[in-house]
Structure 1
Amino acid sequence: MNVKIFLINLDRSTERLEKAAQQLNRLNVPFERVSAVDGSKLTGAEIDAAFDTEQAERRTAYNLTIGEIGCYLSHVECWRRIITDKLDFAIILEDDLVLDDQFPHAISAIEQFTHSNEWDYIKLANPFKKRPYQTRTALDRFTLVDYPKAPTGTVAQAVSFQGAETLLSHRPPFFRAIDVDLQWEWELGIKVQGLVPYVANVSDAESEIQQMAQRKDLKQRRWTKLKESIKFKLKKASHR
């Protein structure tokens, strides 16, 4: 099976790369570093091509920070590599991660599942607000689960060839942060699932995205946020 592990890492974040590499090497997991898109170095034209300001102002609580735009584009690059390299799937990691010793076994479980099943996107972490899930399929020592609403955070996930192809047919341009966008899975044409117990978490270090710009400092469109929350619940119910 053709599988790769991609580690997203900013060129200037050498310490993060070292810490992430130490964990992967300890677990004997080979990886390929993907140079992250530095949002602070994007030109106005590049931002305009990637970020749909009109949709953001109409449908989100705030416009994305430059760090969030760079983060989304870094994942887009990984999706493109899945297609270019003709991978069955890839594990996409961000460098502020903490890996569980069961991480290699999770990769093996997904490989086994892929032999006889189609899937799009599997979350390997739920680092922030804990999200409930429904049990779906037992995979060795893991369980594949469905979510009423997918967890936020993109520190670790598996993306199939089919999933990458579908995602790239819809994005970019984008207007939400990537983890929020994935919650609106019907708009992206994919199904987001999870593998539990989770095998990754985020470190205590402040993320590069937070260092570039703070989401909490942005002006919030509270009425838009409320409308979209109601819309999400109605749309999610109709797609179950």
Structure 2
Amino acid sequence: MLAAVSAKPQTVKAFIIHLGRATQRAAQVERLVDTLPVPAEVIDAVDGLMLSDADRDRVYRRRLHKPAYPFTLSNSEIACFLSHRRAWAAIVEQGLDAGFVIEDDVELTADFPAAFAAALNCLTPGAFVRFPFRADRETGVEVLSQGATRVIRPRTTGLGMVAQLVSRGAAIRLLQATEIFDRPVDTTVQMEWLLNLSPLAVLPGGVAEISSTLGGTSMKRQSSFSEKLAREILRPLYRAKVAFRSRYES
């Protein structure tokens, strides 16, 4: 069981990733600014519609790491990754102990105050704590328990990047390891052996993903039947390889 971190003051700030043209989400961003327990700053998300081929080539390289990611990234996926990198860079540049990075289609639930407090109690210099919006997807070793809230070290880091508490040390490692990337940001975070990072997850996460009520996600992509079929076949194979490496190489 992880001992609670000393209660010395921590400089923590929230960073809300928001795409400017997604005006239907502006009210939700304002709600987050008003309700988050720490000062908040809006990070201008990178717009996938504005990415050129040269922009892609500067940051994206297929099959860079093993296990190889079997799909080509869309511009939206690349833009999402770059947006998270902007938030990580802000944590480092502002000299914070940590940043709470949250996407603009997230709603805080009644469980959030307890989840945030538990995450702060795990805030070590290299900590990365995820706030999953699906509580039943991850299992692992419990490192902290506070009432009904648990923090675990997942056997395999879950998918999704809706909300995370990112220490400055973790932000530095992430930035160094992802100047060029080959897969989406959440699947990159799963590669503990590459990042020298051991993500934690707080359960319940105290967040809900509400993109369907805000005009849908900007990550949608049109796929042919053959592409959909290939994904159905290749996705579980890839996830099995990640789970194997997470178990034996992390």
Q: Which bin holds the TM-score, normalised by the shorter protein?
A: 0.7 to 0.9
Deviation at 1:31, TM superposition (A): 1.3
The answer to whether the 8 A contact 2:156-2:247 is kept is no
Q: Is 1:135 matched with 2:142?
A: yes
- In the alignment, the residues of structure 2 paired with residue 139 and residue 19 of structure 1 have an alpha-carbon distance, to the nearest angstrom, of 29
- In the alignment, the residues of structure 2 paired with residue 136 and residue 8 of structure 1 have an alpha-carbon distance, to the nearest angstrom, of 29
The answer to whether the 8 A contact 2:170-2:197 is kept is yes
Describe the shift of the 1:197–1:169 C-alpha distance in structure 2 as closer, same or farther (beyond 3 A).
same
Describe the shift of the 1:108–1:226 C-alpha distance in structure 2 as closer, same or farther (beyond 3 A).
closer
- AA paired with 1:156? A
The aligned residue for residue 156 of structure 2 is 149
* Range 138-147 or range 73-82, more displaced: 138-147
* Range 132-141 or range 180-189, more displaced: 132-141
The aligned residue for residue 49 of structure 2 is 40
- AA paired with 1:107? F
The answer to whether the 8 A contact 1:60-1:224 is kept is no
- In the alignment, the residues of structure 2 paired with residue 15 and residue 217 of structure 1 have an alpha-carbon distance, to the nearest angstrom, of 31
- In the alignment, the residues of structure 2 paired with residue 228 and residue 83 of structure 1 have an alpha-carbon distance, to the nearest angstrom, of 32
Deviation at 1:160, TM superposition (A): 0.5
The aligned residue for residue 17 of structure 1 is 26
The answer to whether the 8 A contact 1:58-1:224 is kept is no
Describe the shift of the 1:54–1:18 C-alpha distance in structure 2 as closer, same or farther (beyond 3 A).
same
Describe the shift of the 1:199–1:77 C-alpha distance in structure 2 as closer, same or farther (beyond 3 A).
same
The aligned residue for residue 242 of structure 2 is 232
Aligned residue for 1:21, secondary structure, equals: helix
The aligned residue for residue 208 of structure 1 is 218
The answer to whether the 8 A contact 1:60-1:225 is kept is no
1:101-135 per-residue CA deviation (whole Å, 9 max, x = no partner) reads 34344334333433xx4442111123497222331
The aligned residue for residue 62 of structure 2 is 53
The answer to whether the 8 A contact 1:88-1:160 is kept is yes
Q: Identical aligned pairs, as a percentage? A: 25
Deviation at 1:60, TM superposition (A): 1.7
The answer to whether the 8 A contact 2:128-2:199 is kept is yes
- AA paired with 1:237? R
- In the alignment, the residues of structure 1 paired with residue 217 and residue 56 of structure 2 have an alpha-carbon distance, to the nearest angstrom, of 21
- In the alignment, the residues of structure 2 paired with residue 218 and residue 56 of structure 1 have an alpha-carbon distance, to the nearest angstrom, of 25
Give the aligned CA root-mean-square deviation in angstroms: 2.8
- In the alignment, the residues of structure 1 paired with residue 66 and residue 121 of structure 2 have an alpha-carbon distance, to the nearest angstrom, of 43
The answer to whether the 8 A contact 2:100-2:163 is kept is yes
Count of residue pairs brought into register by the alignment: 236
- In the alignment, the residues of structure 2 paired with residue 217 and residue 6 of structure 1 have an alpha-carbon distance, to the nearest angstrom, of 38
The aligned residue for residue 180 of structure 1 is 187
Which of 164, 175, 179 is the equivalent residue of 2:171? 164
The aligned residue for residue 3 of structure 2 is none
The aligned residue for residue 103 of structure 2 is 94
The answer to whether the 8 A contact 1:132-1:147 is kept is yes
Q: Which runs of 5+ in 1 are unaligned?
A: none
Q: Which has the higher helix share?
A: 1
* Range 104-113 or range 215-224, more displaced: 215-224
* Range 118-127 or range 73-82, more displaced: 118-127
Which of 3, 14, 18 is the equivalent residue of 1:5? 14
Normalising by the residue count of structure 1, what TM-score does the alignment of the two structures yield?
A: 0.85
Q: Which runs of 4+ in 1 moved over 6 A?
A: 215-218, 221-224
- In the alignment, the residues of structure 1 paired with residue 127 and residue 25 of structure 2 have an alpha-carbon distance, to the nearest angstrom, of 28
Aligned residue for 2:64, secondary structure, equals: helix
- In the alignment, the residues of structure 2 paired with residue 125 and residue 103 of structure 1 have an alpha-carbon distance, to the nearest angstrom, of 11
The answer to whether the 8 A contact 2:63-2:69 is kept is no
